[in-house]
Structure 1
Amino acid sequence: MESNDNEHEALNNRRGSFWHIWSDSDEVKENEGDGWNIGRRMSTLSFIGRAQPVVMRSVSFEEIVEESRWWNPMTWRGTGVVEVESNGEILSAGIVEDELNKLQRKEIVNQLKCLSYGIPSSKNWAVFRSDDDLKYPEIILSGVSGCNKPVRVKEVPVSMFEIYERNLKKTDTALIHNESLVLPEIENNYRVNTLRSEARIRLSQYVRGFTPQRHLYLQNMKNAQKSYKRAFVLSIHGFLPQKIVRNIIGESSLNSELMTKKVVSEMKRWGDINNVDINFQTLSVEGYGKREDRVNEIIEIIKDWDEEIKKCEYFVCVSNGMNCSISLKVLRFLVDEGLLSNEIQDKLGFISLGGAYYGALESIESKISNRGNVGQDAEIISEMFGMSENQVFEDFEILLKENFKVSLVGSLNDCFVGIHSSLLLDIDHCNIYRNIFIDGKENLSDFLISLIELIVIVKNLKYKDYQLLNEISQYFQGNVGEGGHFIMMEDKNSYRNGIKFMMDTSNSIYDETLKKVEFRNECNDYHIPWSLRGFVEEVIGLKRIEAAETLKGLHEEYLVWEPVEGKMKELKVCMEGFAGVLSEL
């Protein structure tokens, strides 16, 4: 049967799209990962499971076909539902794809299921989801011919990388632990911006004698009337060589979709509290390979959604570990291309979980051998210890100029990345908010928890900590192979603090620049007494903190601290001058 030319022309002129009808044939049902995809204009439509092309019958775009054998028709990106017929037979309503998309989807699924460590070239894939169409995500795979455009899938296949790592996930239910903490909470770090503080800030710009406050304030964001915003969430995750994950880190690195779900959940929670209805679009990126190759491939992937990024009011990127430096490059590209800026978006945020900005801990380099590694594994391992600090500084400088709110989370018992690397202790900017993840299984004393929280608060307010946090961090470093690097990814507070910092803090009225601070990489027990003394003197001079009361409470907790572990006993010996310092002040 031939269709009317005018009907074809009207259909093809409709946003350059047409509907594909899903086949109910057995061949399609047995194909794992089948979904649907919106294609570009074509003169004919191929029907899955049939040798002959089908021809469209005259229907309007507003017509809704109610009969569907296994799911209701959906509308996406302005497309409509049509009925089709072949050889006089009316086919079932729904979505259909052409043969090329079917082959493309099969290839993507097969590639992800067959990926293994030591592959000769980098691979990156991404899953796009939208609140406008929750049922079927889009997936795209780089580095494979014919798979460089997104296609629809019913289920996202699990790659072999993740299957390998799932067996490494350790669960310790026999022991009773304290609750894990992410400190400091945003309310404990920043004051509410009152009329008095606002007046002092303004006067400091024009009148001498008023000390400028170069940190941020909390502001009330709750709206009287419900508002509607669009948010784009970008998650970037990657897999390390199996030897590193199994022998050094000792736990699963999880996946980008987990991070995406956590961010979306916390942003919805924030929206409910502040009377904001948020429409989400998310892009979860996975990959494996060298940094430069991955950056280039991820940029090519993201280009398919550049319009969605540019139109959003809220943009947040989340990443972890070695992938944070990759995320920096990708975000810098988006800024350079004009897709992200303080003038386009209302809020820009970056949540970094255990970021290895300066590489992995030097102490574990001797425990890693390149013998037996194939493909890129040896090069990836070498990259872990060759990060450029200058390049990291330049990338952050670009983002902070566009008013990105950066939340850095570091794990106290991380066995892979040091606190200096994950919290960037050698740079300062008011838009950088540092958090410490304290694993509940460490069962730290109240004194250590209070001290660590106070140190991070002081650092976030851009005052000196005299490197006390870095000096004592050596006593909490986890043992190789026992985990501690990725566990923070499962804690909701790792994301909640970052979202609240992005959404609830004011913007600096000063033209802040990213600054380098003096920093020594070497830790030494003899530095701790001097660092502790300098830190206590710094706290005494802070107006933001009730110094006398805070230090008094800290001293009382110190007196009842009775460590039983060897490392903690050594740390207490290094801090024996704590009481003496307080008595002299």
Structure 2
Amino acid sequence: MVPPSHGHKDPAVAAAAKKMMNNKRIVIVGVHGWFPMKLVRSMIGEPTGTSIKFCEQMATGIKQYFQEEHGVDLPLGDVVTLVPLEGEGKVEDRVHQLYEKLLNNSAWLEAVSSADVILWATHSQGTPVSMMLLRHLLERGHIHLIRQSVCLLAMAGISQGPFPALKGSLIVKYFEADAARELFEFMDSSSPISVQFRTSLAYILHRGVKVVLTGSMQDQVVPLYSAIMTSIDHPNLLRSIYIDGHLLTEKNDFLIHLVVFAVKLRNWGLSDHNLVVHLSEVLAGSLYALEGGHSTIYEELEVYMTAVKYTFETAPFGQFIRKTAIVGEHVQQAQLSVEKEEAEEAEEAEVNMTPFVAKQQQNPFYLPWILHGIMTDPQVLANASLVDDLKQLLQLFEQWHPTSARLKELKYRLDPIRTVRL
């Protein structure tokens, strides 16, 4: 992993950045998640009011990026238009609501249609809402990807459903019934709402929209496999993980490095052998401990910076695709650069979707076999950087001394990996 960039000092680069942004117009769309109960809101965040927060955070990220990377002071008020969309209900109802709000606000609609760059930030249930709404905007000619660049940041998105165990929890029973049931329908990729969502995602990816899927390592509501959509692959997808700063007490923690490695594999276009799916249950935060995770993800500026970098460092603005994994309040970069021609070919790639049905409980005995599969995978072993990562993981495993019962059990289950020789 490579430390964060500290910015470019070359005046020529700054001049090029100024030229790139000359007369460019940027629109930032924010779409909040949905949790109706006051009790739940106190635990996992307010649904309304966060749309404008997403917009403001993304705007701050844009300004910081051009200052740090290119030495350019971007006048946000002249360049950026914020479009915070709010409205509650089931997914399809929200899609129609937000579309009507855009149609009824001529200034917003004109800004979206005329922008050179559209950055979209959404959270939780807002993820399927946003992808379906974006498809509407593309189909109805409000957005034209032949002259516009679009990047959607999905934070802790309920893409493959919440944790299955929440279905029977006391808190969920107090949710508004219809919307609550619908969240769990995303656990099955063949359900009508999942089919609509996945079809919309495939549509926008194929058209050239860039999508950043960011999961929270200790989310109380959304499993990591759901937030980063492990059942879908496409070159325009970038996966990242946010880890609350209070979890980074041990810099060389085995579990953190293991999760980041799994995300790195997916960003390299390689199989993680379902490692993320089987780790997600272990990573689940407590809904009652107020420990952040689901709501603190959108407080972290580096989460937005990942989408900003992905937008401006890839075609048509940049020459490369930059793959990043977020760790806590800092960013550790697992980079994969490809030539610009390859980046442009990503738009023509097929969207690979595999069926998915969430299980109430994963079989813990799969984990050592999964890691053995990764450590003997010819595609992984052919990459020197990934082999170095695996060697480091084996060393960290020996040094790992978890204290909680859940993690002690995980270490016991993974003990067979000590027999692997790289």
Q: TM-score range by the shorter chain?
A: 0.7 to 0.9
Q: Distance in 2 between matches of 1:185 and 1:486?
A: 26
Percent identity over the alignment is 24
TM-score by structure 2 length?
A: 0.79
1:514 aligns with 2:323: no
Q: Which residue of structure 2 lines up, in the alignment, with residue 494 of structure 1?
A: 303
- What is the DSSP-based 3-state SS (H/G/I as helix, E as strand, rest coil) of the residue aligned with 2:16? coil
C-alpha deviation, 1:519, in angstroms = 5.5
Of structures 1 and 2, the one scoring higher in RCO (CA 8 A, sep 6+) is 2
Q: Distance in 1 between matches of 2:372 and 2:29?
A: 43
Q: Which residue of structure 2 lines up, in the alignment, with residue 525 of structure 1?
A: 364
Q: Which residue of structure 1 lines up, in the alignment, with residue 185 of structure 2?
A: 386
C-alpha deviation, 1:239, in angstroms = 3.8
What are structure 2's unaligned runs of at least 5 residues?
6-12, 187-192, 315-319, 321-342
For the 8 Å contact 1:430–1:508, the answer to whether it is kept is no
RMSD: 2.7
C-alpha deviation, 1:479, in angstroms = 1.5
The code of the aligned residue for 1:288 comes to E
Bigger Cα Rg = 1
1:443-482 correspondence runs (5 A) = 443=249, 446-482=253-289
Q: Distance in 2 between matches of 1:363 and 1:542?
A: 36
For the 8 Å contact 1:464–1:538, the answer to whether it is kept is no
C-alpha deviation, 1:368, in angstroms = 4.0
- What is the DSSP-based 3-state SS (H/G/I as helix, E as strand, rest coil) of the residue aligned with 1:406? strand
Tell which deviates more after alignment, 560-569 or 298-307: 298-307
Of 393, 406, 411, 2:211 maps to 406
Q: Distance in 2 between matches of 1:452 and 1:567?
A: 16
The code of the aligned residue for 1:415 comes to Q
Q: Which residue of structure 1 lines up, in the alignment, with residue 228 of structure 2?
A: 423
Label 1:257 to 1:372 Cα distance change in 2 as closer, same or farther (>3 A). closer
Q: Deviations over 1:95-117 (max 9, x none)?
A: xxxxxxxxxxxxxxxxxxxxxxx
For the 8 Å contact 1:184–1:456, the answer to whether it is kept is no
Q: Distance in 2 between matches of 1:578 and 1:537?
A: 11
Q: Distance in 2 between matches of 1:221 and 1:474?
A: 45
Q: Distance in 1 between matches of 2:382 and 2:150?
A: 30
For the 8 Å contact 2:113–2:144, the answer to whether it is kept is no
Q: Distance in 2 between matches of 1:221 and 1:539?
A: 42
1:223 aligns with 2:16: yes
C-alpha deviation, 1:326, in angstroms = 1.0
Q: Which residue of structure 2 lines up, in the alignment, with residue 245 of structure 1?
A: 40
Q: Distance in 2 between matches of 1:400 and 1:184?
A: 28
Q: What is the number of equivalent residue pairs in this alignment? A: 364
Label 1:349 to 1:538 Cα distance change in 2 as closer, same or farther (>3 A). same
1:269 aligns with 2:54: no
Q: Distance in 2 between matches of 1:222 and 1:422?
A: 38
Q: Which residue of structure 2 lines up, in the alignment, with residue 434 of structure 1?
A: 239
C-alpha deviation, 1:318, in angstroms = 0.7
1:326 aligns with 2:135: no
- What is the DSSP-based 3-state SS (H/G/I as helix, E as strand, rest coil) of the residue aligned with 2:150? strand
Label 1:540 to 1:509 Cα distance change in 2 as closer, same or farther (>3 A). closer
What are structure 1's unaligned runs of at least 5 residues?
1-182, 188-219
1:34-53 correspondence runs (5 A) = none
1:562 aligns with 2:369: no
C-alpha deviation, 1:384, in angstroms = 1.8
Q: Distance in 2 between matches of 1:224 and 1:266?
A: 16
Label 1:509 to 1:186 Cα distance change in 2 as closer, same or farther (>3 A). farther
Q: Distance in 1 between matches of 2:418 and 2:15?
A: 44
For the 8 Å contact 1:409–1:494, the answer to whether it is kept is yes
1:307 aligns with 2:110: yes
Label 1:529 to 1:284 Cα distance change in 2 as closer, same or farther (>3 A). same
1:172-187 correspondence runs (5 A) = none
C-alpha deviation, 1:270, in angstroms = 2.4
- What is the DSSP-based 3-state SS (H/G/I as helix, E as strand, rest coil) of the residue aligned with 2:185? coil
- What is the DSSP-based 3-state SS (H/G/I as helix, E as strand, rest coil) of the residue aligned with 1:287? coil
C-alpha deviation, 1:551, in angstroms = 2.2
The code of the aligned residue for 2:364 comes to D
1:285 aligns with 2:121: no
Q: Which residue of structure 2 lines up, in the alignment, with residue 397 of structure 1?
A: 202
C-alpha deviation, 1:423, in angstroms = 0.8
For the 8 Å contact 2:125–2:157, the answer to whether it is kept is yes
Label 1:186 to 1:402 Cα distance change in 2 as closer, same or farther (>3 A). farther
Q: Which residue of structure 2 lines up, in the alignment, with residue 546 of structure 1?
A: 385
For the 8 Å contact 2:164–2:358, the answer to whether it is kept is no
Q: Distance in 2 between matches of 1:397 and 1:224?
A: 32
- 4+ aligned runs moved over 6 Å, structure 1: 183-187, 369-373
Q: Which residue of structure 2 lines up, in the alignment, with residue 51 of structure 1?
A: none
1:100-115 correspondence runs (5 A) = none
For the 8 Å contact 1:321–1:355, the answer to whether it is kept is yes
C-alpha deviation, 1:431, in angstroms = 0.7
For the 8 Å contact 1:447–1:561, the answer to whether it is kept is yes
Q: Distance in 1 between matches of 2:172 and 2:355?
A: 34
C-alpha deviation, 1:538, in angstroms = 3.1
Label 1:554 to 1:371 Cα distance change in 2 as closer, same or farther (>3 A). closer
For the 8 Å contact 1:231–1:313, the answer to whether it is kept is yes
Q: Distance in 2 between matches of 1:477 and 1:437?
A: 13
C-alpha deviation, 1:394, in angstroms = 0.6
1:123-138 correspondence runs (5 A) = none
Label 1:527 to 1:547 Cα distance change in 2 as closer, same or farther (>3 A). same
